[in-house]
Structure 1
Amino acid sequence: MSQTPASELRMARSIAAHESWAKTEDRSARTAPARRALDQKFLEQAGGDPVRAEHLRKAHFQRLALKSAQARRRAKEALSDAQAAEEELSSLATGPHYGGDAA
């Protein structure tokens, strides 16, 4: 029996998620329990102090923003490196050819 490729499973799950969200009339209400749980987590980490909990929440989201910025920078660098490699390959393909008969 063959297994479904991971890429097809991801696509099927993505389709299901989009269909689920399309049927959701109140997105805010649907995500409210998760937001409350995250707020509660920060409050517990802060020992019940709401001011400290707010700082923990801000640090959490700034950490996510930093990781996002780093990932975007790495992706931009990788694209730049790939473009440079393509240009180098292209110049080698159209440049002077060595070997064979000398003109």
Structure 2
Amino acid sequence: MSSKSRAGRIGALVRWGKTPDRTAATAPARRAASERWLREVQAEFPDIDDATAQKLAEARKRAHMTRIASLPRKRKATGSSGQKAA
């Protein structure tokens, strides 16, 4: 792990160690992401009703998350014995 990655991980752990309600802390980001998907749908289909736009936005979000989940994960460097390199 690089020093930048380690510093970022430590920062995140410290932050979450001081956050009793993670759901409330991440609500603004989740709301912004949902609004982004909705804006995309409304730009493509300007005359669509709100309920249908919400369904399409949710489908796009789920497709995006599925795409991310299927990306290959980076593997840590291993030696020929399968042990983590020193």
- Tell me the distance in 2 between the aligned counterparts of 1:15 and 1:62: 28
For residue 10 of structure 1, the aligned residue among 5, 15, 19 is 5
- How far apart are 1:12 and its partner, in Å? 2.5
Larger Rg: 1
Aligned length: 71
Is the counterpart of residue 60 in structure 1 residue 55 in structure 2?
no
When structure 1 is superposed on structure 2, of 38-47 and 11-20 the one drifting more is 11-20
- How far apart are 1:44 and its partner, in Å? 0.6
TM-score for both structures, normalised by structure 1: 0.56
- How far apart are 1:55 and its partner, in Å? 1.3
Identity of aligned residues (%): 36
Q: Which runs of 5+ in 1 are unaligned?
A: 1-5, 87-103
1:11-90 correspondence runs (5 A): 11-47=6-42, 49-67=53-71, 71-72=72-73, 75=75
- How far apart are 1:29 and its partner, in Å? 0.4
SS of residue in 1 equivalent to 2:32:
helix
- Tell me the distance in 2 between the aligned counterparts of 1:15 and 1:58: 30
Which letter maps to 2:29?
A: A
TM-score for both structures, normalised by structure 2: 0.66
Which letter maps to 1:66?
A: S
Q: Which runs of 5+ in 2 are unaligned?
A: 43-49, 82-86
Greater RCO (Cα-Cα under 8 Å, separation 6 or more) = 2
Over the aligned positions, Cα root-mean-square deviation in angstroms equals 2.7
- How far apart are 1:7 and its partner, in Å? 2.5
